Amino acid sequence: MSTRHSYAPAQGHRLRHDPLAAILGPRPIGWISTLSETGVANLAPYSFFNVFNYRPPIVAFSSVGHKDTVRHAQRSGQFVCNLATRALAEAVNHSSIEAPPGTSEFTLCGLTPRASTLVQAPAVAESPVNLECEVLQVQRLHDRQGRPLDTWMVLGEVVMVHIDPPLLCGPDGTYDTAAAAPILRGGGPADYFEVTAAARFEMRRPAPQPQSGAT
């Protein structure tokens, strides 16, 4: 049996790239749009992102650094999560640029801001799915010694969902994940993955076992 590569993260992984992001991946991308105090539309991708509750639906993204997105979300109490797809991959990547203050990533990326229904932050019109969110809390993360980190988690309740009709299939309108072709972040400096129909498989939950002594 070969010896495993083991390491304590605090002492370094001794590899070219941190493997943890690749191990815990690929990860969905939160493409977050916000509105500045002066009315400038901001847009940035976050790969520390996911959904954490059904009812009400709660999503969260985490930002390394107290960046514009976090500041705008804190101030306004709102943000929009736009689905990052293969067709929009270059725009998603370009929106991660550190733009000068007062510059909109919508303009830099050639994207169209679309007015939301319940929040002030605009959505990406080119994205097939938009989730309008109200901020629930903004939490600064700490390590196990209680020391504050320069990382901030924003949790939001989804208050309005917009889905392009072609993604709702069949008589019951089931959402087709593969048809949307979402992209996900892997590890390394530039690894991404695309969800395709060929990668799909079904697996049902096991039926509950009868309790002992039940008739």
| Residue 71 exposed, middle or buried by CB count within 10 Å (0-12, 13-18, 19+) | middle
Closest CA to 155 of 27, 40, 30: 30
Q: What percent of the chain stands above pLDDT 90? A: 86
Domain ranges for the chain, please list them.
16-193
pLDDT of residue 186: 94
pLDDT of residue 1: 67
pLDDT of residue 70: 98
pLDDT of residue 149: 98
153-161 average pLDDT score: 98
16-193: what CATH class? mainly beta
Residue of higher predicted confidence among 137 and 170: 137
**What is the DSSP code (8-state) at residue 56?**
T
Report the alpha-carbon distance of residue 137 to residue 66 in Å, rounded: 14
| 215 has a pLDDT exceeding 70 | no
How crowded is residue 134: how many other Cβ atoms within 10 Å of its Cβ? 17
Report the alpha-carbon distance of residue 17 to residue 138 in Å, rounded: 29
**What does the block give as tokens for 21?**
């992001």
**What does the block give as tokens for 24?**
């815990």
**What does the block give as tokens for 154?**
């924003």
Q: Which residues lie below 8 Å from residue 183, measured CB to CB, with a gap of 6+?
A: 29, 84, 85, 86, 89, 92, 192, 193, 194, 195
Report the alpha-carbon distance of residue 100 to residue 106 in Å, rounded: 13
Report the alpha-carbon distance of residue 144 to residue 53 in Å, rounded: 25
Banded model confidence at residue 213, pLDDT cuts 50, 70, 90: low
SS3 state of residue 42 = strand
Report the alpha-carbon distance of residue 203 to residue 172 in Å, rounded: 20
172-188 average pLDDT score: 95
140-168 average pLDDT score: 98
pLDDT (tens digit per residue) in 81-133: 999 999 999 999 999 999 888 899 999 999 999 999 999 999 999 999 999 99
3-state helix, strand, coil in the chain (%, to 5): 20, 35, 45
| 41 has a pLDDT exceeding 70 | yes
pLDDT of residue 117: 98
Residue 111 CA: distances (Å) to CA of 44, 58, 89, 98:
12, 26, 12, 17
Banded model confidence at residue 22, pLDDT cuts 50, 70, 90: confident
47-62 average pLDDT score: 97
pLDDT (tens digit per residue) in 56-93: 999 999 999 999 999 999 999 999 999 999 999 999 99
| 204 has a pLDDT exceeding 60 | yes
